[in-house]
């Protein structure tokens, strides 16, 4: 069994403030150590649960946050950008199961550091009229490759919105949100212990786990953070302007839709 572990930072125990997610300061340097420890806990849990190989996808920001010299040497690290499959890079490499570590709630939700892909660019993202955050978007991308999400960790708001998408997955709550940048967290040691156990349990479940699959052409609707961004994005000829701050497009596959969103995210830097 080959397992892909996708690791973000906002859902990691002890991470609450934006500074902890942005490079160039001591708070971030400490947070990336916590992120690496949770990745290692998931790796250990995967091997406990019978994995024969593990890929660890660094899935935050510039995709170069995990500390390679601290990573469990049994795993292979997927790092750096650009990459076509983003937070799910590696899922096309014969993977049988996906685990989401340190994930967060979608934009406009009550969760800690909640956002969807790019907090400057996107307010809300809908695939076929269903609002999705990063877990849903990339879980659907994994589903397109026939791979189910078996386990996920993050705060209570993340779990509440995500459980309906992956009803057979094992969820581990690392903290409870009390605000956008506040909450009540497990200790790093407690969180790592729970993650390791959660991954092992998820991979040894006997019941079949179905992938999250979106059928047919994907109708994408995006509410942007400002009308200026909607105007910028509609420089792309195939995009349609629905309202001052809303755009739409269609994609033949989830992969194509996610790649377009990541292109728009990159474009948004022109207005920063």
The DSSP secondary structure of 186-222, one letter per residue, reads --HHHHHHHHHHHHHHHHH--S--------SSEEEEE
Determine how many CB atoms are found less than 10 A away from the CB of residue 58. 28
Task: Give the pLDDT of residue 92.
Answer: 97
**In this predicted model, what pLDDT tens digit does every residue of 41-97 receive, in sequence order?**
999 999 999 999 999 999 999 999 999 999 999 999 999 999 999 999 999 999 999
Rounded-to-integer distance, Cα 225 and Cα 77, Å:
33
**Residue 130's pLDDT band (boundaries 50, 70, 90)?**
very high
Place of tokens 């969103």: 261
Task: Give the pLDDT of residue 207.
Answer: 86
Kindly state the average pLDDT of the residues 27-50.
98
Task: Give the pLDDT of residue 36.
Answer: 98
Kindly state the average pLDDT of the residues 225-238.
97
**Residue 229's pLDDT band (boundaries 50, 70, 90)?**
very high
Average pLDDT, the chain: 97
The percent of the chain in helix, strand and coil, each rounded to the nearest 5, is 35, 25, 40
Task: Give the pLDDT of residue 82.
Answer: 93
pLDDT at 162 over 90: yes
pLDDT at 6 over 90: yes
**Residue 139's pLDDT band (boundaries 50, 70, 90)?**
very high
Domains for the chain: give ranges and CATH numbers: 2-116+133-204 (3.40.50.10780), 218-271 (no CATH)
Based on its alpha-carbon atoms, the radius of gyration of the chain, rounded to whole angstroms, reads 18
Token reading at 185: 């967290």
Kindly state the average pLDDT of the residues 177-198.
98
Q: At what angle do helices 134-144 and 254-267 cross, to 10 degrees?
A: 140
Determine whether 160 is exposed, middle or buried from the number of CB atoms within 10 Å of its CB (0-12, 13-18, 19+).
middle
**Residue 206's pLDDT band (boundaries 50, 70, 90)?**
confident
Task: Give the pLDDT of residue 13.
Answer: 98
Kindly state the average pLDDT of the residues 143-159.
98
Kindly state the average pLDDT of the residues 23-33.
97
Task: Give the pLDDT of residue 208.
Answer: 86
pLDDT at 223 over 90: yes
**Residue 132's pLDDT band (boundaries 50, 70, 90)?**
very high
Q: Find the length of the chain.
A: 272
């Amino acid at each position: 069994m080959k397992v892909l572990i996708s690791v973000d930072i906002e859902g990691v125990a002890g991470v609450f403030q934006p500074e902890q997610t942005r490079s160039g300061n001591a708070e971030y340097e400490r947070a990336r150590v916590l992120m690496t420890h949770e990745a290692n806990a998931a790796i250990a849990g995967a091997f406990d649960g019978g994995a024969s190989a593990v890929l660890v996808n660094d899935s935050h920001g510039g995709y170069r946050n995990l500390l390679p010299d601290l990573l469990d040497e049994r795993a292979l690290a997927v790092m750096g950008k650009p990459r076509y499959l983003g937070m799910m890079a590696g899922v096309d490499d014969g993977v049988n199961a996906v685990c989401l570590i340190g994930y967060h709630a979608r934009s406009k939700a009550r969760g800690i550091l909640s956002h969807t892909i790019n907090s400057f660019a996107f307010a809300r993202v809908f695939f076929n009229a269903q609002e999705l955050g990063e877990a849903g978007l990339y879980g659907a991308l994994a589903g397109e490759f026939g791979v189910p999400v078996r386990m996920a960790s993050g705060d209570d708001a993340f779990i509440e919105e995500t459980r309906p998408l992956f009803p057979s997955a094992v969820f581990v709550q690392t903290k409870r949100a009390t605000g956008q940048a506040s909450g009540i967290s497990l200790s790093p040691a407690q969180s790592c212990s729970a993650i390791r156990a959660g991954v092992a349990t998820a991979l040894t479940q006997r019941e079949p786990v179905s992938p999250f699959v979106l059928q047919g052409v994907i109708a994408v609707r995006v509410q942007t953070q400002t009308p200026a961004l909607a105007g910028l994005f509609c420089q792309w000829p195939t995009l349609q302007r629905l309202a001052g701050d809303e755009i739409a497009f269609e994609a033949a596959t989830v992969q194509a839709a996610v790649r377009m969103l990541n292109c728009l995210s990159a474009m948004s830097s022109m207005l920063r």
